Structure 1
Amino acid sequence: MDLRTRGGLLAEGYSERELRRLLRDGQLDPVRPGAYVFGGVPPDAAARHLLQVRAACEQLSTDAVVSHASAAVVHGLALWVTPLDRVHVTRDRRSSGARRGRRVHVHSAALDTDEVVPVAGIAVTSVERTLVDLGRTVPFEQAVVAADQALHRHLTSRGALDLASVRRPRLPGMPAARRALAFADAGAVSPGESRSRVAIAQAGLPAPVLQWEVRTVSGRFVGRVDFGWPELRTVGEFDGRVKYGRELRPGQDPAEVLYEEKLREDALRAEDLGVVRWGWGDLDRFGPVAQRLRDRYRSR
């Protein structure tokens, strides 16, 4: 979506009166004062925030580097309930200059040149530094969602995160960041699975095998499950609605996908595996799901 500035529109020949009319008629929509888009602001929160980031960069000093949640959006990392009401930037200053405004939150912290990368013309903190800053400033679950995604999409590596977690030990909030980065796992393929991992750990359950490939004794592939406890003969499946939408082939009926999933579950049970399912609504109160898992755990 093409971001337009007031000065640029005036230079193109639009008059102040025309701009007011376009705004009044809904043909031109404000992103922030002095920055607009034609055709409507996108409904997606991340897409809207990316426009706000681009608009803010037009007005901020050149030493401001997009960071924290804003950097995660620029890198294409989906966030879970992380506020996007302000654009976050960091200036390479050790102690002064931080401020929290209505539209922009300016952080002051040390930044080395290798912690700043260009993305689509925007100076943004590296993926590793972005995840460190998120881990320092947002709740554990939100930080894990972003870190899992970065690993799963190969935007970073386990080794790079381990190095980032010890690079700046004196930054406020680093103990929390280290916990989140240490917990991150590339095997979680969606925010729902990342949140499930956190819920499983907080319930005191054994750590599962992610994306476990179930096979028969003869080696025949049965299916891949979100969470597996092979020694306890139990599998767990997170049922997000989006999951089944992604599995649809062109022209395929959703009922067919559900039927195939039933056959898959029957095949898992035939291998003497207990199957426990849960969805978005279970993640905020995971106790009953945790008990169902405990009830189905069994040794070989």
Structure 2
Amino acid sequence: MQSEIYLRWRLRAAGYGDHEVRRMLRDGSLHPIRRGAYVAGPSEDPAVGHALLVRAALAELSPDAVVSHVSAAVLHGLRVWGIPLDRVIVTRTRRRSGARRGSRVHVHCAPMEPDEIVLVDGLPVTSVPRTIVDVARTVGFEQAVVVADAALEAGLVDEGALAVALARWSRWPGLPAARRAIGFAARGSGSVGESRSRVAIAEAGLPAPILQWEVRRSDGTFVGRVDFGWPRQRTVGEFDGRVKYGKLLRPGQDPADVVYEEKRREDALRAEDLAVVRWTWPDLTHFAPVAARLRSRLT
């Protein structure tokens, strides 16, 4: 995430005229990330593009600006879903809370303790616990769970640190929502889809599953690991995302081989008298049919 930022005034100082900059923008040699700031070539990953926006913005902000909220989550490498990345979010240390929202930068003013500021690739960023609390009190439940799950799964934070962060600023706006999202967050969700699935399962009133359940035969031999398991009801749930199968590819392996192996794995699960319920990205938008299939097994 440390691609070089080219500022217009620096390009001019290096002898590049406006017509040359326009030509490089047309041919793709430069890609605009904000007004007067560019990087070499396009950036297709929204997170990478946002990280570049952060670097460009900090070059023009007050030295006491600390990257925060979703911008900090991106720099910490956390999964982000459903949160706009068109604005850079920073916080300046002030005794009283406040905010100034511009077209490119959203500046919060709030108190911060020294241990809540860390360096990430040389940039001042709110710590992971502070970042998660800030995100969870300012976005929706589902979006907050995705970020908190990612931090717990990556081992970047634990429940104790999050409890301390919540207690430190107990009177801030949005803290009740943050407590709900952080209280629901858990290790074991390996993707955005799995985190969103957990939310959908809970909202449907279904029993909480075991995450990353290891299925074994009666003799103890390993059958497979599943996304969601309800051992007493002999039921497993699997979220099928395209990225999931991409990660399973070994060098030189054909995607069809992965599908075949997955079919064999499911056959082995069913041989253990387990019902397998699968769903995909579109199902997360309208989860009722999947919930009905799960409910028929679980209740």
Give TM-score, length-normalised by structure 2: 0.95
Alpha-carbon offset, residue 297 of structure 1: 2.8
Alpha-carbon offset, residue 47 of structure 1: 1.2
Q: Answer yes or no: is 1:27 the counterpart of 2:26.
A: no
Alpha-carbon offset, residue 295 of structure 1: 1.2
Distance 1:219 1:12, change over 3 A: same
Per-residue CA distance 1:144-194 (angstroms, 9 max, x = gap): 001111111111112212222222111110011111111111110100000
Q: Secondary structure at the match of 1:73?
A: helix
Q: Secondary structure at the match of 2:47?
A: helix
The CA distance in 2 between the partners of 1:96 and 1:267, in whole Å, is: 56
* 1:55-94 equivalent positions in 2, closer than 5 A: 55-94=56-95
Match of 2:9 in 1: 7
Distance 1:179 1:90, change over 3 A: same
* 1:203-282 equivalent positions in 2, closer than 5 A: 203-282=204-283
Match of 2:155 in 1: 154
Alpha-carbon offset, residue 281 of structure 1: 0.7
Alpha-carbon offset, residue 234 of structure 1: 0.7
Alpha-carbon offset, residue 97 of structure 1: 5.4
Q: Is the 1:212–1:228 Cα contact (8 Å) retained in structure 2?
A: yes
The residue type equivalent to 2:203 in the other structure is: Q
Q: Secondary structure at the match of 1:147?
A: helix
Q: Is the 2:53–2:88 Cα contact (8 Å) retained in structure 1?
A: yes
Alpha-carbon offset, residue 78 of structure 1: 2.1
The CA distance in 2 between the partners of 1:56 and 1:222, in whole Å, is: 50
Q: Answer yes or no: is 1:99 the counterpart of 2:113.
A: no
The CA distance in 2 between the partners of 1:256 and 1:16, in whole Å, is: 52
Match of 1:197 in 2: 198
Distance 1:23 1:143, change over 3 A: same
* 1:106-121 equivalent positions in 2, closer than 5 A: 106-121=107-122
Q: Secondary structure at the match of 2:224?
A: strand
The residue type equivalent to 1:136 in the other structure is: R
Distance 1:266 1:104, change over 3 A: same
The residue type equivalent to 2:20 in the other structure is: E
The CA distance in 2 between the partners of 1:101 and 1:114, in whole Å, is: 28
The CA distance in 2 between the partners of 1:63 and 1:291, in whole Å, is: 52
Q: Give unpaired runs (5+ residues) of structure 2.
A: none
The CA distance in 2 between the partners of 1:62 and 1:140, in whole Å, is: 32
Q: Give unpaired runs (5+ residues) of structure 1.
A: none
Give TM-score, length-normalised by structure 1: 0.94
The CA distance in 1 between the partners of 2:181 and 2:195, in whole Å, is: 11
Per-residue CA distance 1:100-142 (angstroms, 9 max, x = gap): 1111111111111111111011111111111001100110000
The residue type equivalent to 1:71 in the other structure is: A
The CA distance in 2 between the partners of 1:109 and 1:143, in whole Å, is: 20
The Cα RMSD (Å) is 1.5
Q: Is the 1:31–1:41 Cα contact (8 Å) retained in structure 2?
A: no
The CA distance in 2 between the partners of 1:221 and 1:18, in whole Å, is: 62
Distance 1:158 1:12, change over 3 A: same
The CA distance in 2 between the partners of 1:69 and 1:230, in whole Å, is: 36
Distance 1:175 1:44, change over 3 A: same
Match of 1:167 in 2: 168
Q: Is the 1:162–1:182 Cα contact (8 Å) retained in structure 2?
A: no
Distance 1:245 1:25, change over 3 A: closer
Q: Is the 1:137–1:173 Cα contact (8 Å) retained in structure 2?
A: yes
The residue type equivalent to 1:242 in the other structure is: V
Alpha-carbon offset, residue 69 of structure 1: 0.8
